[in-house]
Amino acid sequence: MIKRLHLFEQIFKLSKMEELSNGSLTSILVCMLCLFLTVNGGYVKYYTGAGVVPGKLNVHLVAHSHDDVGWLKTVDQYFVGSNNSIQGACVENVLDSVVEALLRDPNRKFVFAEMAFFQRWWVEQSPEIQEQVRKLVDGGRLEFVYAFNHTPRAGWQIDPFGHSAVQAYLLGDELGFDSVHFARIDYQDRAKRKGDKSLEVIWRGSKTFGSSSQIFANAFPVHYSPPTGFQFEVFDDFEPLQDNPLLEDYNVEPRVNDFVEAALTQANVTRDNHVMWTMGDDFQYQYAESWFKQMDKFIHYVNKDGRVNALYSTPSLYTNAKNAAKVSWPLKTDDYFPYADGINAYWTGFFTSRPALKRYVRELSGYYLVRESA
Ligand X SMILES: *[C@@H]1O[C@H](CO)[C@@H](O)[C@H](O)[C@H]1NC(C)=O
**Which residues bind to ligand X, rule: CB under 6 A?**
82-83, 86, 264-265, 268
C-alpha 66/C-alpha 80 separation (Å) is: 16
Q: Report the residue number, 258 or 296, with the smaller CB distance to ligand X.
A: 258
CB atoms within 10 A of CB 16: 8
C-alpha 256/C-alpha 220 separation (Å) is: 23
Is residue 283 within 8 Å of residue 81, measured between CB atoms?
Answer: no
C-alpha 352/C-alpha 355 separation (Å) is: 5
CB of 315 to ligand X, least distance (A): 24
CB of 267 to ligand X, least distance (A): 8
What lies within 8 Å, CB to CB, of 273 at 6+ separation is 55, 56, 57, 58, 267, 325
CB of 194 to ligand X, least distance (A): 8
Q: Report the residue number, 155 or 227, with the smaller CB distance to ligand X.
A: 227
C-alpha 335/C-alpha 208 separation (Å) is: 16
CB of 275 to ligand X, least distance (A): 12
3-state secondary structure of 252: helix
What lies within 8 Å, CB to CB, of 363 at 6+ separation is none
CB of 192 to ligand X, least distance (A): 12
Long-range contacts of 13-21 (CB under 8 A, 24+ apart): none
Q: Report the residue number, 82 or 132, with the smaller CB distance to ligand X.
A: 82
CB of 279 to ligand X, least distance (A): 20
CB of 260 to ligand X, least distance (A): 10
Q: Report the residue number, 208 or 265, with the smaller CB distance to ligand X.
A: 265
Q: What is the DSSP letter of 64?
A: B
Q: Report the residue number, 83 or 244, with the smaller CB distance to ligand X.
A: 83
C-alpha 91/C-alpha 81 separation (Å) is: 7
Q: What is the DSSP letter of 213?
A: G
CB of 286 to ligand X, least distance (A): 18
161-198 residues labelled b (16+ CB within 10 A) or e (exposed): bbbbbbbbbbbbbeeebbbbbbbbbbeeebeebbeeeb
Q: Report the residue number, 83 or 333, with the smaller CB distance to ligand X.
A: 83
Q: Report the residue number, 91 or 154, with the smaller CB distance to ligand X.
A: 91
Q: Report the residue number, 82 or 157, with the smaller CB distance to ligand X.
A: 82
Handedness of CA 211, 212, 218, 219 (dihedral sign): negative
Q: Report the residue number, 59 or 165, with the smaller CB distance to ligand X.
A: 59
CB of 273 to ligand X, least distance (A): 14
Handedness of CA 45, 51, 53, 57 (dihedral sign): positive
